[in-house]
Structure 1
Amino acid sequence: MKFSVLASGSSGNAVYVENEQHSFLVDVGLSGKKMDELFRGIGRDIKNLSGIFITHEHSDHIKGLGVVARKYGVPIYANEKTWGAMDSLVGKVPLEQRFQFDMETVKSFGSMDIQSFAVSHDAADPMFYIFHENGRKLVLITDTGYVSDRMKGHIKGADAFVFESNHDVSMLQMGRYPWSVKRRILSDVGHVSNEDAAVAMSEVIDIKPTNVYLSHLSKDNNMKDLARMSVTQTLQSCGIIAGEFVHLHDTDANQPTELVLV
């Protein structure tokens, strides 16, 4: 199983996952043209996708979905409430491409099992995904105001995480956003901060080689170096030294990460 974080940030999000038989995309938060470019950046062709999984209906996760769905005829998977919330936003998706993926369930595609789990975000019914194959585990978890014990139970012990590290609290509090937006981001249905993300990581990382991709960084309220430093320091305070068995990686809003083996 291999994956690449094609894009991650406030402006758009998409993650690519493949094995020898299938290739999947989680979210299509950029234009169809940009998605084609990102796929070329990892040496893959978007027309070969086996399916697209949607986490929730916010525009930075579905901006290019309608175009990609209609152009390439890819099967789309989302839960019932998310389908209802995004129907008017993505345009017509043919019935034969619409599939329901219920919350807290598992779908199998050959040797790969894909598990859905609920997160806490201000969307209709937001959920993220865990990819399992041959004893290896890839977790995608962003767009959540906090990481509950239930979520930790699902994601614990992954070999790789795409983990939200959205904002620095001080930057957010002192920044230009109106208070209503700040309050929403800081709430239980907003986004996790660098420090809160690291505390949650410390409780789900096992003592084995683990790669963590810091994702969904706010363009206005975070920076890559700051996120990495904050997570490193907080992990250290929890007894985990970044670089020993846990390795932190940056993601980017416009450039894909290297396609790597889980």
Structure 2
Amino acid sequence: MRFSVLASGSTGNSIYIETEEHAFLVDAGLSAKRMEQQLENIGRSMTNVDGIFVTHEHSDHIKGIGVLARRYKVPIYANEKTWLAMNGLVGEIPTGQRFHFNMETSMSFGSLDIQSFAVSHDAADPMFYVFHENDRKLAIITDTGYVSDRMKGHIQGSDAFVFESNHDVSMLQMGRYPWSVKRRILSDVGHVSNEDAAVAMSEVVAQKETRIYLSHLSKDNNMKDLARMSVSQTLESCGIRTGEFVHLHDTDADKPTELVTV
């Protein structure tokens, strides 16, 4: 199983996952043109994508879905409430390309098993995914106000995590956002801070080679170096030394990460 974080941030989010048999996207929050360019940057193409799994209906996760679905006849997977919330946002998607992926269930595509799980975010019915192939596991969890024990149970012991590290609390509190927006971000249906992300990670990382991709960083209320330092310090205070078996990686709003094997 190989993957690349094609884009991550408030301007657009998408992740590419492939096996020897199949290739998928989680979300397509960039324009169709930019999605095509990001895939080209890692040597891949939309013509090889077998489906797009939607996490929730916010624009930075679904912006390109309608055009991509119609242009490439690619299947789209989402739960029922998310499909209803996307009506009017993605244009017409033929019935034959609309598939329901229910919350807390799993689907299999050849050797790849995909499990959905609920998160806490201000969307209709937000959910994220864990990808399993043989004994390897990739967990994707962003856009949640907190990480519950149930969520931790789903992602526990993954070989790679795409994990939200959205904001530094002090930067957010002192920043230019209106108080209503700050309150929403800090709420249980907002986004996870660097510190809270690190604490959650310390409880799910196993004693093995693990990649952690810090994702969905706020452009205004975070910095890559700060997120990495905050997470590293918290993990090391819990006895998890980064750089040995746990490796932290940046993600970017404009360029994809290297295509790597889980």
Same fold flag (TM > 0.5): yes
* 1:260 paired residue number: 260
Unaligned residue ranges in structure 1 (runs of 5+): none
Per-residue CA deviation, residues 32-66 of structure 1 (Å, 9 max, x unaligned), is 01001000000001121110000000000001111
Shift of residue 194 of structure 1?
Answer: 0.3
Q: Which aligned runs of 4 or more in structure 1 are off by greater than 6 angstroms?
A: none
* 1:151 paired residue number: 151
Structure 2 CA distance for aligned equivalents of residues 26 and 87 of structure 1:
19
* 2:87 paired residue number: 87
* 1:226 paired residue number: 226
Structure 1 CA distance for aligned equivalents of residues 83 and 96 of structure 2:
14
Structure 2 CA distance for aligned equivalents of residues 145 and 237 of structure 1:
23
User: What is the TM-score normalised by the length of structure 1?
Assistant: 0.99
Structure 2 CA distance for aligned equivalents of residues 121 and 234 of structure 1:
24
* 2:75 paired residue number: 75
* 1:25 paired residue number: 25
* 2:34 paired residue number: 34
Per-residue CA deviation, residues 235-260 of structure 1 (Å, 9 max, x unaligned), is 11121111111000000001000000
Unaligned residue ranges in structure 2 (runs of 5+): none
Structure 2 CA distance for aligned equivalents of residues 176 and 66 of structure 1:
33
Structure 2 CA distance for aligned equivalents of residues 145 and 63 of structure 1:
22
Structure 1 CA distance for aligned equivalents of residues 240 and 20 of structure 2:
34
* 1:14 paired residue number: 14
Given the alignment of the two structures, is residue 65 of structure 1 paired with residue 41 of structure 2, yes or no? no
Given the alignment of the two structures, is residue 115 of structure 1 paired with residue 89 of structure 2, yes or no? no
Alpha carbon RMSD of aligned pairs, Å?
Answer: 0.5
Amino acid at match of 2:105: T
Structure 2 CA distance for aligned equivalents of residues 123 and 238 of structure 1:
33
Shift of residue 174 of structure 1?
Answer: 0.3
Structure 1 CA distance for aligned equivalents of residues 220 and 68 of structure 2:
29
Amino acid at match of 2:113: D
SS in 1 for 2:195: helix
Structure 1 CA distance for aligned equivalents of residues 180 and 239 of structure 2:
36
Shift of residue 122 of structure 1?
Answer: 0.3
Structure 2 CA distance for aligned equivalents of residues 240 and 21 of structure 1:
35
Shift of residue 234 of structure 1?
Answer: 1.0
Amino acid at match of 2:95: L
Aligned counterparts, 1:115-194, within 5 A: 115-194=115-194
The count of residues paired between Structure 1 and Structure 2 equals 262
Structure 2 CA distance for aligned equivalents of residues 55 and 30 of structure 1:
14
Shift of residue 108 of structure 1?
Answer: 0.3
User: What is the TM-score normalised by the length of structure 2?
Assistant: 0.99
SS in 2 for 1:39: helix
Structure 1 CA distance for aligned equivalents of residues 10 and 183 of structure 2:
17
Shift of residue 18 of structure 1?
Answer: 0.2
* 1:211 paired residue number: 211
Structure 1 CA distance for aligned equivalents of residues 183 and 238 of structure 2:
27
Structure 2 CA distance for aligned equivalents of residues 175 and 96 of structure 1:
46
Amino acid at match of 1:223: M
SS in 2 for 1:90: coil
Amino acid at match of 1:130: V
SS in 2 for 1:9: coil
* 2:102 paired residue number: 102
SS in 1 for 2:211: strand
